[in-house]
Amino acid sequence: KNEVEQSPQNLTAQEGEFITINCSYSVGISALHWLQQHPGGGIVSLFMLSSGKKKHGRLIATINIQEKHSSLHITASHPRDSAVYICAVRQNTDKLIFGTGTRLQVFP
Amino acid sequence: AAGVIQSPRHLIKEKRETATLKCYPIPRHDTVYWYQQGPGQDPQFLISFYEKMQSDKGSIPDRFSAQQFSDYHSELNMSSLELGDSALYFCASSGLGQGIPYEQYFGPGTRLTVT
């Protein structure tokens, strides 16, 4: 069993839909990251969370430390949001443990 | 704003050759992390450095070595390359420079192909 699991693995949506990606982890963490990876391979950090909720534009990330669960929400999705979204957790040593990723495709 | 720089962006090597990947962190970041992402796989942590000292080690093969220099850039040296070393190698940096303190910022990656 992976220490960080994401669901769904693949997600398709129509432009404008509200999207939720879930992440569950089984280890103690100091922070959780949501990352975006485009087909070219580059990784962009979207959020780093240790509690509560953060919002950036159309993206919202929440974390529940007690339940070891985080969600990434995309409002008013757009085709340019198509990417792989990765949940990664940071333990005390700062190295990241990555989830399996969620491949999102948004169609016009 | 300056980002993490990796060079080269693409590298093709033959089996048993050596390769050196370079990572230049965001200015004033003192910690560098290396990750390896094989085709269709999750990134895996290899090694990290803080203030030029190795701070953590993951699943890095003995054929690989890395170091962080006085200007905080880091190099990943890979010897006796194998076909399975073909992957995207990411570097990330963190610290008290620009951006959110201690958040890891990723470079664009170096795509290594071993033939």
CB contact under 8 A, A41 and B35: no
Phi-psi region of B80 (alpha: psi -120 to 50; beta: other; left: phi over 0): left
Rama region for B9: left / alpha / beta (φ>0; ψ in -120 to 50; rest): alpha
The predicted-structure confidence for A4-38, as pLDDT tens digits, reads as follows: 999 999 999 999 999 999 999 998 898 999 999 98
pLDDT band at A40 (very low <50, low <70, confident <90, very high): confident
Give residues with Cβ within 8 angstroms of B59, minimum separation 6. B44, B45, B46
| Contact yes or no for B58 and A94 at CB 8 A | no
Tens-digit pLDDT profile for residues A61-102: 999 999 999 999 999 999 999 999 999 998 877 788 999 899
Burial class (CB in 10 A: 0-12, 13-18, 19+), B97: middle
Distances (CA, A) of B19 to A97, B13, B33, B58, B71: 26, 7, 18, 20, 21
Q: What is the pLDDT tens value at each position of chain B, 115 positions in all?
A: 678 999 999 999 999 999 999 999 999 899 999 999 998 888 899 999 999 999 989 989 999 999 999 999 999 999 999 999 999 999 999 887 666 667 788 998 999 999 9
Whole-angstrom Cα distance, residue A69 to residue A76?
23
pLDDT for res A78: 95
Give pLDDT, residue B10. 95
Token pair for B51:
């203030």
The residue among A48, A50, A94, A100 with the most chain B CBs within 10 A of its CB, best to mutate, is A94
pLDDT value of residue A1 = 64
Q: What is the pLDDT of residue B33?
A: 94
The pLDDT of residue B42 is 86
Distance CA A103, CA A8 (A): 8
Per-residue pLDDT of B54-73, as tens digits, reads: 998 998 999 999 999 999 99
Tell me what pLDDT residue B97 has.
65
Is B100 in Cβ contact with A94 (below 8 Å)?
no
The candidate with the shortest Cα–Cα distance to A47, out of A89, A92, A104, is A89
pLDDT in the model for residue B95 = 84
Look up residue B111 and give its DSSP letter. E
Give the pLDDT score at A44.
86
| Chain B: closest CA distance from residue A93 (Å) | 7
B58 closest CB neighbour out of A42, A86, A95: A95
Residue B57 tokens, joined? 């080690």
Q: What is the pLDDT of residue B98?
A: 64
State the first-to-last Cα distance of chain B, in angstroms, to the nearest integer. 37
- pLDDT for residue B74: 97
